[in-house]
Amino acid sequence: YTFTHAITRKPGSSITDGLRAVDTGSPSLQIFLQHHAEYVAALKSTGACVTELEAHEDFPDSVFVEDAALCLPEGAIAMRPGTPSRLGEAAEMKPILKEFYGRVLSIEGPGFIDGGDILTTEREILVGTSARTDCRGIEELRDLVKTWGYSVREVKTPKGVLHFKTDCSLLDEETILSTKRLDASGCFEGYRILHTAEGEEACANAIRFNDLVLMPDGFPKTAKLLEDAGYNLRQIGNSEAAKLDGGMSCLSLRF
Ligand code: CIR
């Protein structure tokens, strides 16, 4: 959770075509841009260097850069997003990653894997199978990172939840913020778990970024819990990303 860099991409006007599980109305580009600026400012306030890519109108969901790649200290890996409209985002991200990394690998397929299903902790890489990520994608990732000494553990994203990290986030080397429904699957044995408050499951997708924890605003009980636990919390507007099932982690690649 200590990072010197982040990559973000501005939302474009095609954001109104972004994918969503349930239609709760079209996101407003203007409000999304304000929230996005707040988010970028919070990342920058920790001293990190933040690359802000211009909007890519061909890919309505490309503001959610996290799904296109996995960034590790040893190298970056372009993912293979498991939904047709997002598949091309990985190839778009590759040249950008090459500006920072000598080594950029790719998931070639036939499997699929979205960055949102990957939680990297200090001891392992957890990857949830989901509607976007399958066993073959996870196997290919496992082979790629084995040489760098990482162990990949396959877990399950709860049914009806978009990504594994929709329901959890890493807060420090041993602590994970998780919904009760995900924790109930038993996948976090050995970690310290803080549960999102009842009815506030939608704030589980937070990020620890250097000294800050960024969390969507509007979840007061969980916010208090995190503040009481000693985290330096920054609450960021997320109403428009939430209409497209996005949260804090989706909006950046961090390394
Ligand atoms: C999608 O369905 O792919 C986007 N509307 C939301 C992606 C959110 N990304 C993430 O959780 N990592």
74-118 pLDDT, tens digit each: 999 999 999 999 999 999 999 999 999 999 999 999 999 999 999
Percent of the chain with pLDDT over 90: 100
Catalytic residue selected from 35, 163, 187, 195: 163
Average pLDDT over residues 210-217: 98
Beta carbon of 89 within 6 Å of any ligand 1 atom: no
**Substitution candidate for ligand 1 out of 83, 162, 170 with most atoms within 8 A of CB:** 162
Four-residue CA torsion sign, 228, 221, 203, 156: positive
Average pLDDT over residues 213-238: 98
First to last CA, the chain: 9
Distance of CA 86 from the midpoint of ligand 1 (Å): 10
Atom of ligand 1 nearest to the CA of 246: 8
Beta carbon of 167 within 6 Å of any ligand 1 atom: no
- The confidence band for 124, taking pLDDT boundaries of 50, 70 and 90, is very high
106-123 pLDDT, tens digit each: 999 999 999 999 999 999
Please check whether residue 225 is in contact with residue 191, taking contact to mean a CB–CB distance below 8 angstroms.
no
Average pLDDT over residues 177-194: 97
Mean residue pLDDT across the chain: 98
Active site annotation includes 163:
yes
Four-residue CA torsion sign, 109, 122, 4, 252: positive
At 2 the pLDDT is 96
Nearest-angstrom CA–CA distance, 70 and 77: 5
- CA distances to 77, 137, 187 from 128, rounded to whole Å, are 17, 11, 10
Average pLDDT over residues 7-35: 97
At 53 the pLDDT is 98
ipTM: 0.98
At 129 the pLDDT is 98
> E-strand spans in the chain?
5-9, 49-53, 69-72, 75-78, 104-106, 118-120, 125-129, 152-156, 168-170, 175-178, 192-195, 207-209, 212-216, 233-236, 253-254
Catalytic residue selected from 71, 168, 187, 250: 250
Beta carbon of 19 within 6 Å of any ligand 1 atom: yes
Active site annotation includes 35:
no
Nearest-angstrom CA–CA distance, 243 and 26: 7
